[in-house]
Every structure is written in C-alpha cells, then in structure tokens.
Structure 1
C-alpha cells in the first residue's frame, strides 16, 4: 500500500464524504487512490473555487471540509480561499501535491516553497519527508480539525512521498476516540480539566456576572462550531442577559426574545445602545474584531471602562479582564449548572451531556438588576429606516430587489413542504442590503466575512449544496463578483445542483464607485463594466435563466421560480446607493 492510498483510507475512516479539487501532475497518485474510494470527488473548474466550496461545505455541515490541488500554480490558486478560511476560522484540510523531494535543480519547473506560502494563513502546516511521517501528520490534522476547529490545516505531499510503498495497511486505522495523535497539545476530555485549555478563571467570570448590573452577551460563530445555541439561550433566559450577535452568527438566534440583533458597524439601534452602555460584555466564540466593536467614531471600545469576559478555543483572540481559553459549550454548561454558595461557585455538572432541560432558575443570580436594564434597551427598539424600499423606479433599486426576494423565501420557509434554504452571499453591496433588510431565523448566512473576496459566492454555493442536498440554495451575487469565478457554472450544471443564482446587474463596481466619489466627487475610474449577456451565458452552461428590470417583472419571476434545478435570474438594478460606513 502506498502513502496516497493510506491517506485516503484515513479520510474515509474519519467520515469524509466529499473532496473538492482539481487534478494535476504531481497530485495524480492521490487521485488514483481517490478513484478507488467511497469518497466523492467534486471537480471544480478552478482551485480557488475548490477551497471556497470546501469552506462553505464546512460552514454548513459543522464538519471540516477537504480540498486538493497539484503543485505550483494549483497550490498558488488556492491561497485566496485558504486566507478566507483562516480569517473566518473555518476548519478545513488543504492538501497540495508537490515536486519530488531532493531534486538537484532548485529552479525546477513549477517548483515553489509551498509550505512557506501557506504557513501564515493556516493554523498548522505539514511538509512530511516520507510516507510514515505523512500518515502521522494526516492523523494529527484530522484530530485537530475534529476537536479544535480554529481554521485550515495544510499538508504538502510530494509525488515520491505519495508513491512511497512502505506503508503497512494497519497504519491506516484511525481511532477518533484516542488521544494519541493529539499528544499533550489538544484535549479530548469532556470535563474542565485539561493540559491545554485553561478554565481556571471560569468561576471568576461567574462572580463578575453576578456583580454586573448591565451585562451583555456578544455571540460569535463559535456558538455554531460548539453546537451551543440551546445552552446560550438557557444561560441568557435564566439570568435575563440580552444577546447581540456578530456577522458570522446572524440567523442562529434571531427568533429569541432577548436577542437584540447585529452589533457593530451595521448593528441595530438596540444592540449598539446595549454595547455602549453595558458594564460587562461577555464575548462567546467571537474574535472581537473592529467590525463588532466600532460602533461610531465617538466610541472607542478599547478605551471604555466596560469589563470584558472572553471565551474562545483560539487563545490568540482572547481579550479583556477575564480570558477563558476553552470550549464555549463546556463553559456555558458550567455557567448553567453552577450554584451560588456564599459568593463562590461549586460546579454541579462538568459533563456537557447532562440534561439541559433541568430547571436551574433557582440558581440564577441577576434577575432583579436586569429587568430595568432590559427595559432601557428596548426603549431603543426603533427599526432602522431604509430609504427607497417602496420605489417603483425602473431599473429597480437594489434594496427593493433584495426585499422582494427575501420576503418570498421567508414565506416559503414557513411551509411544511419546503425543505428550508441556505442563503449564500458574495462580497459586495448586496451583502449589506441582505443584512439590513432580511430577517433570517435558525439558519446561517454563508459569506466571506473578514477577508471578503469577490468571487466567493458561486463556488461556496456549490459546497453548500453538496453538503445539504435536500436544501435549496439561494445565492445572491453582484455582477462584478459573479464574473470572478463564473466558471463554476459548469460545476453547478454538471452536478445538477438546485441553486437559485440571483445576479444583481448594474454594470458597475457599485461600492467602489461610491467610495471613489466619497474621496473625490469627480473621480469615476475603472468601475463601469461591459457585461456579457448573463442569460445566454447561463444557457451556454445548460442552465435555464431569465432577466427582469421592474418590480412587477421580478414579482412574477419569483412566483415562477424553479427550485428543483439550477436557475439564474438576472435582475437589472439602478446605480448603487448603499449607505456607506463613514465613521
């Protein structure tokens, strides 16, 4: 058995169902092994698309995605996608092929230091020199991705290492319950004792929460990765602590009474009022980025006197007065089941498998203070006014198009025979409109947040659809971003993925045009696009399509949408007038 065959067997044993990739010369041994496996390969038309697809697959499924490319240009094409996953802490296994080890020609064809390139944008990168090291590395990667989903892990495999036949088939077994490949670096235990995580400040955090009169929770994407939505709601409800969310946790808890909405640059009035006036902010699974903390130019969170508790599995993003390096779900369970005894706390439950339905209201510690705090917050419950939503202009205003589309899908979502949907956004102004207008309940919005490259949406929709074949995928694109990975229409068509592609077409890079005018009212340079006929282009890939330009045409097209197969709807819209963040 060679290394490639053993690696594929390990991935099978770890539960990997799909790999997104594009073949090439140096990675062919891996593809030879994949051809004889149960793992499905999704042929993407570009390596960047493969990474974005694996990224969305992970965000939707909660499991790590896998993508693969060959050496040189193939590996370099993956860099953008890996950077997105790294910035958004998306767990992913990135496999690259490479030229033979120990070659004499240091300037060999397509040769480049792949390990050095990927090191700054991964949580770990491996460059094994033989088959045995490769097997050890891949097992460790799988263990880390399953137990501490902080971001992408890269393994670089030269062709001769992949072909190494010295591998015993017994080495291909993978015991997911074993701690061996985690060594002392990564914990497996279910309680709060660990050689790696640090829960020593957990009861100090509870004491601060007890003393607080105006506490606030900021929930990040870590709530999703830790599968702790119910634990969060229980903690919030029992102790009457309101919740705000970051961009990456939008939709997880929007149907909950104490949820205030998005906080930060595009935050709701309630959420931002609470953030500025809280005396204690509890960040749960959030990186605490400036998009969250920067309310306006007059408020500097870092200089505020607000006390901060932060909980995260990524030690590098912890911030504040009390830092808890650990699993959010375990921390919330400790909070939910810890009793007050003479101003100290004794942990009544350490195992997160305990019955979460237990009534712990008698153990709450802050209800009387929080009633007035919550009343103050909800006095600021004014909806953000958005101009132009009722406009009947032709072409459509973009906010009108987004409103009509989202209303239709939210109505569908209430029907018993509708199998839910997943919303995927590309980078662009439409993402802002979706955030400002849409009310998304109990689902995730998939978009490339912290890096935000144009071209993410189309391949990400592919990954989301492969991950959840029974759900409909709604993809909203701008005309600029749509063309950056437009070749993935072939992936959608060849796999008959039921993705509804909305292309908002104003023949310009709308946000960039606005920023140009903001800096210099006379500047309008390289922002106008000469677009192709998107309907004919979709048809060329075997995808049905239509184009609309008025409110009435869009309403009719929406009613006649085909949701059981690929479909593209071009919506001609007016020049962009998104409210820019100028603070």
Structure 2
C-alpha cells in the first residue's frame, strides 16, 4: 500500500463520501487510488469550482469538505476558493499534488512554492518529505477537522511521496481518530470559566445570545433552543447562522448591519452578550453610527473552538454543544426571569421595510423578483429549499428578503467572490440531494464560473439556476456613482443568450421579465432536473449602509 492508497482508505474510514477535484499529472497516483474506492469523485471543470463546491458541501452537510488538484496552475487556481473558506472558517481538506522533490526549487515546469502560497489562507499547512510524515500529517489533519472544524487545512504531496510504500510502521500507530462526531472530552478544550459564565448569566437583567455558525458546526441548534426556552433569553443570529433557528419564540432575527430592529435594539441595550460560536465582526457590531460597541460597558461571554477568536470578559475555549449541555443540566442556572426584558424587546418589533415591492414596472425590480421566488418556495410542496447566493447587488436583496421567510442561505460573507454561486450550488446539491437547491446569481457573477454548468448537467443535479440579468455590474456601477456621479466605466455587459447557453449543456430554461411570467415559470417547475431561469430586471440601487 502506498501513501495515496492509505490516505484514500483513511478518508473512507472516517466517512468521506465525496471529493471534488480536477485531475492532473502530479496528482494521478491519488486518482488511481480513488478509482478503486467507494468515494465518489465529482469532476469539476475548474479547480476554483472544486473548492467552492467543497466549501458549500461542508456548510450544508456539517462535515468537512475535501478537494484535490494537481501542481502549479491547478493549485494556484484553488487559491480564491481556499481564501473564501478561510475567511468564513469552513472546515476543509485541500490536497495538492506536486512535482517530484528532485525537481523542486529548480524553476522547472509548473514548479512553484505551493506551501508558501497556501500558508496565509489555511489554519494548518503541511508539505511532508516522505511517506511516514505524510501519514502522520493526514491523521493529525483528520483529527483536527473532526474535533476543531474552524477552517481549511492544506496537504501538499510530491509525486514521489504519493507513491511511497515505506509506511507500514506508521500505519499501525494510533493517533485516536474520532469518527463522525465532535470530540467532547474536557481535556481537549479549556472549560475553567464555565461556572463564572453561569454566575454572570444569573446576575444579568438583559441578556442576549448571539448565535454564530459555530452552533451549526457543533450540532448544537436544539441545545441552543432549549437553553433559550428554559431561561427566556432571546437569540439574535449572525449572517452565517441565518435560517438555522426555525420556529423559536425568542429568535429576534439578524443582528448588525441590515439587522432587524428587535435584534439591534436588544444588542445595544443588553447588559450581557453571550457569543456562541461567533467571531466578532464589524457586520455584527456596527449597529448604527451612534453606537460604539468598543466603548459599551456590556459584559461579554465568548464561547468558541477557535481560541484566536475569543474576546470579552469570560472566554471559554470549547465546543458550543458541550457548554450548552452543561448550562442545560438540572439546577445549573437558577432564578432567571426576563419577562420585562423580553416584552421591551418585542415592543420594538417592526416589519422589515424593503422599498419598491409594489412597483408594476417591466422589467421587474430585483427585490420583487427575489421576494416572489422566496415566497413561492415557502410553499410546503417544495422540499426544505436551500438558497445559494452569489456576490453582487442582488446579494443585499437576498439577505434582506430571506429574513422575512427565515430561509437558509449559503453564501460567502468574508471574501464574497463573484463566481461562488454556481459551483457552491453543485456542492450543496451533492450534500443534500433530496432538498431543493435554488441558486440566485447576477449576470456578472454567473459568467465567472460558468463552466460548472457542465458539472450540473453531467451529474443531473436538480438545481434551479436563477440569473437576475440587468446587463451590468450593478453594485460596481453604484459605487462608481458614489465616487463620481458622472462616472460609469466598464460596468455595462453585453451578455450571451443564457437560455440557449444552458440548452447547449443539455439544461432546459426560460426567460421572463414580469411578475406574471415569473410566477407561472415557478408554478410549472418540477425540479427533478437542472433548470435555468433568466429574469430580466431593471437597474436598481441597493440601500447603502450609512456610516
């Protein structure tokens, strides 16, 4: 057995079902091992697409994603996707093949220092020089991704390492792999401050929970609901936990920039903020220009598996689920009564106001199109729809309108690259084949990874691909106008016929430009195969956040 074969075996043993990638010369030994495995390789048409697909696969499944590529250009094509995953703390294994070590650092064909390229955009980065080191590295990587899913890890393997068979001794060394579950052992994390946190919760008069994506990665959504219900503590969510907390009486909506009035009121007036699995970011704390979070005297409890993101008065380096289980155990927290605080928050309830929704103009305003789509998929006949969002002016409308329907939205918040949506929809569909996947794309972003239509077609992925077409880079046009009201430069697009383009890949499609046309198109959808729906929309500025 060589290194390639053993890595594939260990991935099989840990429960990996899918790997996203594109073959190339230096990674061929790994593909040889994959060919004899139960793991399904999803052939993406570009290496950037393979990373975005693995990223969304992880966000939807709750398990780490895996993607692979060859050396040189293959590895470099992955950089945008890896950077995107890094910014959003998405657990992922990136394996790159590399030139044989005899050819390293000789300016040979496709030779580049891949390890240095990936170092600033991964939480760990390995470049083993022999098979034994490679096996030690992969065991450590798997343990980290399962126990501490806080970002991408890169493993670079030279071709001679991939073929190394001198590994029998290291194979039998047990590094305690934990299969398919978060390790909740107290000796893995540091929980010394947990009782101090309980003391602060009992003393508080106006507590608020800020639920981040760590609640999802820790499989702690139900534990969070129980903690909130038992103690009548309201919850606000961040962008990346949008749509995760459904059917809960004390859920206030999004907090921060473009947040709900209730959530932002609670954030500004709370005397205790409990951050669970959330980084502190300007999107969460920038409520308005009159509120300075750094100068507020609010007590803060922070719980996170990533020690580097902890902040505030009480820091707990640990798994959110484990902390909530401790909070929820009998008689831990006593004498809580926040009815007055809850009533005060809900007195600030106000429906999200979105301008332009009553317009009858043709072509449609983008916000009308997006609301009609989300409203339609609120119907029980659709199976737990998951929305995937690309970057562009439509992103703002999607985030605002998804709050009305409390929909799960998969998108990149930290890096926000155009071109994320199409390959991400592939990953989401592979992870959840029985869910309806709806991709909302602008015409600009769609064309940045358009080749993944081939992936969708060849795998018959039942994705609804919505293209909002205004023949421009709308948000860039708006920023140009804010910079100089006479500037409109390189933002207008001459687009192809998107429906015919989809047809060329064997994907059916249609184009609409009115409310009636859009409603009819959605009504007739079966979503048992891919479908492209172009919606011609009007030029529309997004609401600008006031600084």
Q: Give TM-score, length-normalised by structure 2.
A: 0.97
* In structure 2, C-alpha distance between the alignment counterparts of 1:486 and 1:455, rounded to whole Å: 8
Alignment of 1:329-368 (within 5 A): 329-337=321-329, 339=331, 363-367=333-337
Q: 1:284 to 1:181 in 2, by over 3 A?
A: closer
SS of structure 2 residue aligned to 1:149? coil
The offset of 1:364, in angstroms, is 3.8
Q: Partner residue of 1:388?
A: 356
Q: Partner residue of 1:543?
A: 507
Q: 1:398 aligns with which of 366, 371, 381?
A: 366
The reply to whether residue 533 of structure 1 matches residue 530 of structure 2 is no
Q: Partner residue of 2:528?
A: 564
The offset of 1:156, in angstroms, is 0.1
Q: 2:464 aligns with which of 497, 500, 510?
A: 500
The offset of 1:128, in angstroms, is 0.5
Q: Partner residue of 2:29?
A: 29
Q: Partner residue of 1:425?
A: 389
* In structure 1, C-alpha distance between the alignment counterparts of 2:103 and 2:109, rounded to whole Å: 11
SS of structure 1 residue aligned to 2:449? helix
Bigger drift between 373-382 and 427-436 goes to 427-436
The offset of 1:419, in angstroms, is 2.9
* In structure 2, C-alpha distance between the alignment counterparts of 1:308 and 1:496, rounded to whole Å: 48
Q: Partner residue of 1:347?
A: none
The offset of 1:503, in angstroms, is 0.2
The reply to whether residue 491 of structure 1 matches residue 455 of structure 2 is yes
- Can you give the 5+ residue segments of structure 1 that lack an aligned partner in the other structure? 341-362
Q: Give TM-score, length-normalised by structure 1.
A: 0.91
* In structure 1, C-alpha distance between the alignment counterparts of 2:488 and 2:445, rounded to whole Å: 19
Q: 1:202 to 1:400 in 2, by over 3 A?
A: same
SS of structure 2 residue aligned to 1:339? coil
Q: 1:219 to 1:453 in 2, by over 3 A?
A: same
* In structure 2, C-alpha distance between the alignment counterparts of 1:87 and 1:526, rounded to whole Å: 28
Say whether the 8 Å CA contact 2:139–2:177 is kept in structure 1. Answer: no
Q: 2:265 aligns with which of 255, 269, 273?
A: 273
Say whether the 8 Å CA contact 2:257–2:545 is kept in structure 1. Answer: yes
The offset of 1:104, in angstroms, is 6.8
SS of structure 1 residue aligned to 2:137? helix
Q: 1:206 aligns with which of 186, 190, 198?
A: 198
Runs of 4+ deviating beyond 6 Å: 440-443
SS of structure 2 residue aligned to 1:423? strand
* In structure 2, C-alpha distance between the alignment counterparts of 1:533 and 1:113, rounded to whole Å: 41
Q: 1:119 to 1:284 in 2, by over 3 A?
A: same
Q: 1:226 aligns with which of 218, 223, 232?
A: 218
* In structure 2, C-alpha distance between the alignment counterparts of 1:577 and 1:240, rounded to whole Å: 40
- Can you give the 5+ residue segments of structure 2 that lack an aligned partner in the other structure? none
What are the superposed Cα offsets for residues 150-199 of structure 1, whole Å, 9 maximum, x if unpaired?
Answer: 1111100001111112233x855797xx63799xxxx98635x31x4211
Alignment of 1:219-298 (within 5 A): 219-298=211-290
The offset of 1:286, in angstroms, is 0.3
The reply to whether residue 179 of structure 1 matches residue 171 of structure 2 is no
* In structure 2, C-alpha distance between the alignment counterparts of 1:442 and 1:395, rounded to whole Å: 27
Say whether the 8 Å CA contact 1:511–1:576 is kept in structure 2. Answer: no
What are the superposed Cα offsets for residues 500-543 of structure 1, whole Å, 9 maximum, x if unpaired?
Answer: 00000001111111111122211111111111110111111110
Q: 1:274 to 1:144 in 2, by over 3 A?
A: same
Q: 1:307 aligns with which of 299, 316, 326?
A: 299
Q: Partner residue of 2:60?
A: 60
SS of structure 2 residue aligned to 1:438? helix
Say whether the 8 Å CA contact 1:497–1:565 is kept in structure 2. Answer: yes
Say whether the 8 Å CA contact 1:255–1:441 is kept in structure 2. Answer: no
C-alpha RMSD of matched pairs (Å): 1.9
* In structure 1, C-alpha distance between the alignment counterparts of 2:372 and 2:178, rounded to whole Å: 51
Q: Partner residue of 1:346?
A: none
* In structure 2, C-alpha distance between the alignment counterparts of 1:197 and 1:442, rounded to whole Å: 33
Say whether the 8 Å CA contact 2:105–2:112 is kept in structure 1. Answer: no
* In structure 1, C-alpha distance between the alignment counterparts of 2:173 and 2:497, rounded to whole Å: 51
Say whether the 8 Å CA contact 2:253–2:403 is kept in structure 1. Answer: no
Q: Partner residue of 2:48?
A: 48
Matched residue count: 546
Q: 1:395 to 1:180 in 2, by over 3 A?
A: closer
Q: 1:505 to 1:30 in 2, by over 3 A?
A: same
The offset of 1:253, in angstroms, is 1.0
Q: Partner residue of 2:475?
A: 511
* In structure 2, C-alpha distance between the alignment counterparts of 1:9 and 1:272, rounded to whole Å: 49
Q: 1:550 to 1:320 in 2, by over 3 A?
A: same
Q: 1:171 to 1:390 in 2, by over 3 A?
A: same
SS of structure 2 residue aligned to 1:484? coil
SS of structure 2 residue aligned to 1:410? coil
Q: Partner residue of 1:149?
A: 149
Say whether the 8 Å CA contact 2:471–2:493 is kept in structure 1. Answer: yes
Say whether the 8 Å CA contact 1:10–1:172 is kept in structure 2. Answer: no
What are the superposed Cα offsets for residues 275-296 of structure 1, whole Å, 9 maximum, x if unpaired?
Answer: 0111110000000111011111
* In structure 1, C-alpha distance between the alignment counterparts of 2:178 and 2:205, rounded to whole Å: 45
SS of structure 2 residue aligned to 1:97? strand
